[in-house]
Amino acid sequence: MQIRDKVILITGASEGIGAACAQVLRERGALLSLTARSEDKLRLAAGADGLLTAGDITAPETRERVVARTLERYGRIDVLINNAGAGLYTPSWNSDPAHVRAMFELNVFAPIELTRLVVQSMRRRGSGMIVNVGSIAGKVTLPWLTLYSATKYAVGSLTDGLRMELKRDGIHAMTVCPGYVETRFQSNLIAGRIPPGVADSRMFAISARRCAEDIASGIERRARTVMTPRVGWLLVAAARLFPALLESRFESIHARGQSPRGAAEGAP
């Protein structure tokens, strides 16, 4: 797919991967429609000609408004990038249900509903692409991010299903699996804290710009999955070939960041 003159709608576009995608895609000639909660930050990412719609993407009225405004401005949506997401660093067995629901609303249900809204016009035109930003945690479960991993596994499965469902309509679906990207993701958590062993690891960290360039290249070649950085495939392979060994390693990292048992369970 040629990016020039394509209408691309990006969620979570005010900072991080979303803002970097806006910059890279604008440089490649895309027509942008951006949405996020912060209007001021969106203005920085949108450029002179981009359409911006501020609002909470978990709210149905925001989703409907951003799609309607995009169609009104451009007459079509060629690519939807479901990028908005948040993490939850608390144990799955001891998480606040409200926090869990909030994360699933943003990471899973918002992409499902936005896809539903844009696919009808894509089907009428016989072309389009859905890009869902997952995570390497959607390929390999991370015990310090168990519930986040669950949302990203759901996103990956959703994307695979969409690709098969919509192929005959000319619509492609692509999953993006970032590893550690240098953004404010870990500062914008719903709840919890990062284990020291994870927080100190930067061996394969990449910039948001590098991630965005990989996403743009994936769109151009109609990739099924974009692993960024590609070295992440080694971790996926290790999880498939040596699951017990990897689980033991992850459990050790996770344990170093935990409170003593009594404190974790609320004992005096």
The CATH number assigned to the domain holding 107 equals 3.40.50.720
| Domain assignment present for 171 | yes
**Which of 13-22, 52-61, 94-103, 175-184 has the least mean pLDDT?**
175-184
Residue 2 lies in a domain: no
96-127 in b/e form (b: 16+ CB < 10 A) is eeebbebbbbbbbebbebbbebbbeebeeeee
Helices 110-125 & 60-74 angle (0-180, nearest 10): 30
Q: Which two tokens stand for residue 202?
A: 């930067």
- Tens digits of residue pLDDT in 185-196: 766 788 877 776
Mean pLDDT of the chain: 91
Query: Which residue type, as a one-letter code, is found at position 3?
Result: I
The stretch 260-267 carries a mean pLDDT of 37
pLDDT at 245 over 50: yes
* pLDDT for 219 beyond 50: yes
Per-residue tokens: 189: 């958590």
Integer Cα distance of 150 and 87 in angstroms? 11
Residue 256: predicted pLDDT: 74
- Residue 31, in any domain of the structure: yes
pTM: 0.92
How many domains in the chain? 1
75 inside domain: yes
Q: What is the pLDDT of residue 257?
A: 65
CB 127 within 8 Å of CB 171: yes
The whole-number average pLDDT for the span 14-23 is 95
Asked whether residue 151 is assigned to any structural domain, the reply reads: yes
What is the extent of the structural domain holding 57? 7-264
Q: pLDDT band at residue 93, thresholds of 50, 70 and 90?
A: very high
Pairing of strands 171-178, 128-133: parallel
Element (H, E) at 189: none
Which residues are catalytically annotated? Answer: 148
What is residue 43's predicted lDDT score, i.e. its pLDDT?
82
Q: Identify the pLDDT of residue 191.
A: 85
